[in-house]
């Protein structure tokens, strides 16, 4: 009996007899293993980073493939170098982990964690020089990660149930090569694109590089700037639906900012006025000569966009409910929608290796914002997949009472012709009862926007990581949203 056979029999016995041990996706161990998965594939495999790949593998690696047989580490690395990575400039193969397929099972000895089993499915795409990217195939896998000298290493791996391209529903459409060329012409380092059709997130497409020489994975992190605000708005509206918060209750019983304590207008502030940007506050207090918060008009009398209003709401929510905003969002939004790659703050579980660094128009990078305390208005980091599923939920009014959803999509204040602010979202009046919900985000090194059309079930997300990324919005909106997209652009350009 070979050394491989000695291992594989008890491995399968263990795997199929311990299915109750799966850990939650919010568990720190789950996030750790998914981080190792990303380092192995997104950084090592997808970019032909030989040293990275070799470093992730145990010297005792055993790899079982249902088409190519058994390999040890030496053979695996030789095949990797001389096969997939023989000429990466001419042919590139990418692996993408299939959403929600991962399962993690911890393994203990005398109560001490020593390994985990990772089970999942993945797809592969192939791109040859001068040709569009095409889907290559799909397979299931089981990886056995062990702790060796304090570090997680891939010790055993099974790759099986390979399916040919013809058996897979492709969700990549269009000429990717043309899009890549278009992005280079417009100097867009990274583009994340989410396409919503029939009320579902149907396409997740990410183009470009997250940093020089590193292709952007499908689960690239983006700082989405003011696209943070809709998430905060939905936290508040979810609490309203649960009867734990009121839209029109004055906030002064929970929080009063010291800068406006002596101004009686603070008593007029409500969640409705904050979510529709009618507080009278400036966007940010630091824009004032004295750097202090103030009222620039009577609350509720006109529109003025304000991040300060959302921060005011955060402090009121936190005071009443006794939890920080990031915890409230995790409980009310992120966990129910499986938004496992979304957070207001950076911590030890944030995987910086797949973050899209922000750039100015000249291609110079900006420092990455790494908030330790949630900002209700800014700096959320997320992926196209997570935020796309969030926008689908918004479009359907999920987890909201019908009357709350009605208030959210009601024209609370006019901002320009055929354009309004509702509660947390801009509203485009497209005529005949049709409308679009939208929000944008703009900071140093990020330009992002999202649209959903509740009546038709369509939508689009566009994430970029450069100061002038907005210049690709119009063509994409019109291409993917058709006539409704043209009406949106017409309203915006009036």
Comparing 79 with 259, which gets the higher pLDDT? 259
Q: What is the mean pLDDT of the chain?
A: 89
- Distance (Å, whole) CA 465 – CA 22: 36
| pLDDT value, residue 404 | 98
**Dist CA 320 CA 315 (whole Å):** 9
Confirm if 157 and 63 have CB atoms less than 8 A apart.
Answer: yes
d(CA 435, CA 429): 5
Tens-place pLDDT, residues 94-108: 888 876 788 999 999
What DSSP designation does 487 have? H
pLDDT at 146: 95
pLDDT in tens, 417-464: 999 999 999 999 999 999 999 999 999 999 999 999 999 999 999 999
What is d(CA 459, CA 195) in angstroms, rounded to the nearest whole number? 6
Confidence (pLDDT) at 171:
33
Instruction: Please tell me what DSSP assigns to residue 86.
Output: S
How many helices, marked H, and strands, marked E, lie in the chain? 12, 18
pLDDT tens digit string along 349-402?
A: 888 989 999 999 999 999 999 999 999 999 999 999 999 999 999 999 999 999
- Mean of pLDDT values over 3-22: 44
Q: Please report how many Cα atoms fall inside a 13 Å half-sphere around the Cα of residue 34, on the Cβ side.
A: 27
pLDDT number for residue 23 = 86
CA contacts within 13 A on the Cβ side of 75? 11
**pLDDT digit string, tens, across residues 225-243:** 999 999 999 999 999 999 9
Q: What per-residue confidence (pLDDT) applies to 175?
A: 59
Confidence label for 136 from pLDDT (cuts 50, 70 and 90): low
Rounded mean pLDDT, 339-349: 92
Per the structure block, which two tokens stand in for 177?
């090569």
> Tokens in use for 236?
């508040």
Write 442-445 long-range contacts (CB < 8 A, 24+): 442/225, 442/226, 442/470, 443/223, 443/225, 443/226, 443/358, 443/369, 443/378, 443/379, 444/358, 444/360, 444/366, 445/223, 445/357, 445/358, 445/359, 445/360, 445/365, 445/366
What's the CA gap between 343 and 372, in Å, rounded?
A: 11
Does 184 or 56 have the greater pLDDT score? 56
For CA atoms 296, 299, 302, 303, give the dihedral sign: positive
DSSP code, position 82 = I
Task: Say how far apart CA 379 and CA 108 lie, in whole Å.
Answer: 38
pLDDT of residue 135: 61
Q: How large is the average pLDDT for residues 152-161?
A: 94
Tokens standing for 443?
């900071």
In whole angstroms, what is the distance from residue 295 CA to residue 303 CA? 13
In order, the DSSP letters of 365-388 are: BPPPP--SS--TTS--EE-HHHHH
167: confidence class by pLDDT, cuts 50, 70, 90: very low
* Predicted pLDDT of residue 126: 77
Nearest one of 154, 29, 27, 24 to 100, comparing CA atoms: 24
Contact 102, 119 (CB under 8 A): yes
**Would you tell me the crossing angle of helices 307-321 and 228-241 to the nearest 10 degrees?**
40
- Helix, strand, or coil (residue 32): helix
Average pLDDT, integer, range 145-155: 94
The answer, yes or no, to whether residue 14 has pLDDT greater than 80, is: no
Confidence of residue 11 (pLDDT cuts 50, 70, 90): very low
Cα separation of 162 and 119, whole Å? 15
Q: Which residues 6+ apart lie within 8 Å of 382 measured at CB?
A: 221, 222, 224, 227, 339, 341, 342, 343, 390
Residue in this structure with the two tokens 């590139």, named with its chain if needed: 92
**200-211 vs 214-215, strand pairing mode:** antiparallel
What does the angle CA 87 – CA 92 – CA 94 come to, to the nearest 5 degrees? 145
Asked if 303 contacts 413 with a C-beta cutoff of 8 angstroms, the reply is yes
- Note the pLDDT tens digit of each residue in 424-436: 999 999 999 999 9
Residues with Cβ within 8 Å of residue 395, at least 6 apart in sequence: 196, 199, 437, 452, 453, 454, 457, 459
pLDDT recorded at residue 224: 97
Look up the pTM and report it: 0.69
| pLDDT average, residue stretch 320-338 | 97
User: Burial of 413 by CB count in 10 Å (0-12 exposed, 13-18 middle, 19+ buried)?
Assistant: middle
* Euclidean distance between CA atoms 196 and 310, whole angstroms: 28
């Amino acid at each position: 009996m070979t050394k491989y056979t000695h291992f594989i029999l008890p491995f399968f016995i263990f795997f199929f007899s311990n299915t109750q041990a799966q850990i939650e996706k919010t568990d720190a161990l789950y996030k750790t293993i998914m981080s190792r998965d990303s380092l192995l594939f997104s950084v090592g495999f997808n970019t032909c980073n030989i040293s990275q790949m070799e470093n992730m593998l145990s010297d005792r690696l055993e790899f079982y493939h249902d088409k190519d047989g058994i390999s040890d580490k030496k053979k695996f690395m030789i095949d990797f170098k001389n096969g997939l990575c023989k000429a990466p400039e001419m042919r590139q193969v990418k692996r993408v982990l299939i959403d929600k397929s991962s399962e993690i099972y911890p393994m203990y000895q005398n109560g001490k964690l020593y390994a985990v089993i990772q089970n999942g499915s993945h797809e592969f795409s192939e791109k040859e020089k001068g040709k569009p990217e095409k889907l290559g195939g799909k397979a299931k896998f089981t990886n056995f990660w062990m702790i060796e000298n304090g570090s997680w290493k891939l010790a055993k791996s099974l790759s099986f149930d390979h399916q040919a391209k013809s058996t897979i529903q492709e969700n990549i459409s269009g000429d990717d090569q043309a899009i890549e060329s278009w992005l280079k012409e417009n100097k867009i380092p990274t583009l994340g694109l989410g396409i919503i059709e029939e009320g579902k997130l149907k396409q997740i497409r990410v183009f470009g590089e997250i940093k020089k020489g590193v292709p952007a994975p499908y689960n690239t992190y983006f700082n989405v700037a003011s696209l943070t605000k809709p998430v905060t708005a939905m936290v508040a509206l979810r609490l309203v639906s649960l009867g734990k918060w009121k839209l029109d209750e004055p906030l002064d019983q929970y929080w009063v900012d010291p800068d406006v304590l002596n101004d009686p207008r603070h008593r007029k502030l409500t969640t409705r006025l904050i979510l529709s940007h009618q507080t009278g506050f400036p966007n940010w207090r630091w824009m004032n000569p004295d750097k202090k918060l103030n009222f620039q008009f009577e609350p509720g009398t006109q529109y003025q966009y304000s991040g300060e209003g959302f921060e005011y709401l955060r402090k009121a929510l936190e005071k009443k409910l006794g939890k920080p905003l990031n915890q409230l969002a995790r409980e009310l939004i992120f966990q129910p929608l499986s938004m496992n790659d979304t957070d207001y703050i950076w911590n030890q579980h944030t995987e910086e290796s797949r973050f899209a660094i922000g750039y100015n128009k000249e291609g110079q990078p900006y420092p990455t914002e790494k908030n330790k305390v949630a900002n209700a208005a800014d700096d959320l980091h997320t992926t196209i997949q997570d935020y796309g599923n969030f926008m689908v939920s918004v479009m359907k009014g999920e987890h909201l009472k019908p009357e709350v959803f009605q208030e959210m999509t009601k024209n609370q204040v006019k901002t320009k012709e055929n354009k309004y602010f509702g509660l947390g979202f801009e509203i485009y009046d497209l005529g005949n009862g049709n409308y679009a919900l939208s929000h944008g985000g703009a900071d140093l090194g990020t330009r992002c926007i999202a649209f959903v059309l509740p009546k038709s079930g369509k939508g689009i997300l566009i994430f970029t990581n450069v100061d002038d990324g907005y210049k690709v919005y119009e063509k994409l909106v019109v291409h993917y949203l058709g006539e409704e997209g043209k009406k949106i652009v017409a309203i915006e350009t009036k």
